[in-house]
Structure 1
Amino acid sequence: MSIRFRSPAQRAYTWRVGLAMGVYLVSLPAAVQFVGKGHVPHDSPLAWLLALIPGIAVSGVFWAYGKMLLEESDEYQRMLHVRQSLIATGFTLAIVTIYGFLENFGLVGHIDAFYVAVLWFIGLGVGGLVNRLTLGTTGWDCR
């Protein structure tokens, strides 16, 4: 059984995200092993490169999502995905803003900034759920 996505744009998105996540899954353990455990000096260009690659890979997912929005030829599908990403962005900004104030006043501990991306991905799920509940489809439904 194969999954058929609604559009070629979604199919291309899936491949791009798969590639970005493949790079992430290879580069993160390498960065942890070599930079995180001190096997590469922190002041070396190699340490910087190894530390940057996982973040660049995750950024590739954001690029893939934007590219999918540009390539999507069906206006309704595009609207669903734009709506989903706006909900994800609002969700993320609200949480990190509130948390930032709580942290600023010493009420909660510090959280590493890369978790903002995790929140945005969770927000995409929230946006998909909102689309499903209000419009009857997520935009990612398979045929």
Structure 2
Amino acid sequence: MTIRFRSPAQRAYTWRVGLAMGVYLVSLPAAVHFVGQGVVSRTDPLAWILALIPGIAVAAIFWAYGKMLIEETDEYQRLLHVRQSLIATGFTLGLVTIYGFLENFGLVGHVDAFYVAILWFFGLGIGGLVNRLTLGTEA
């Protein structure tokens, strides 16, 4: 099976996300082991660095998505990606706002903030599906 990318912007995006995910996949277990298991003291600056790297890697994925939107020269492809990200953003903000009110009134438990990124990535899938169902294509 051959994967075909529609544009140089899409190839660059895939490479950037792959690099960010590689950093994430290496740094998260390291942070869990060294900081989470107490190998490195939480007062040690190294603990902060180890804890920050996975989050920075995920933030790099958001940067890569924005960079892809800027670099994409095909206006229709850019439209599809913008629609997809707007749907993902609306989905995510809607859910976390509702959950925030439920949490505020003590009706549900606390959820760590980094799950917001996972919701947004899931929302990208929903956005792709919406594009497919309403426009007959996805980015």
Q: Name the TM tier (shorter chain).
A: over 0.9
State TM-score, norm by structure 1.
Answer: 0.96
Show structure 1 runs of 5+ residues with no match. none
Tell me the residue number matched to 2:138. Answer: 138
Tell me the residue number matched to 1:92. Answer: 92
The structure whose RCO (Cα within 8 Å, separation 6+) is larger is 1
Tell me the residue number matched to 1:6. Answer: 6
The alignment of Structure 1 onto Structure 2 pairs a total of residues equal to 139
Tell me the residue number matched to 1:57. Answer: 57
Give yes or no for the alignment of 1:106 onto 2:121: no
Runs of 4+ in 1 over 2 A off after TM superposition: none
Tell me the residue number matched to 2:16. Answer: 16
Q: In the TM superposition, what are the counterparts of 1:18-97 in structure 2 within 5 Å? A: 18-97=18-97
State TM-score, norm by structure 2.
Answer: 0.99
The RMSD of aligned alpha carbons is 0.5
In the TM superposition, residue 110 of structure 1 has moved relative to its aligned partner by: 0.2
In the TM superposition, residue 92 of structure 1 has moved relative to its aligned partner by: 0.2
Match of 1:15, SS?
A: helix
Identity of aligned residues (%): 83
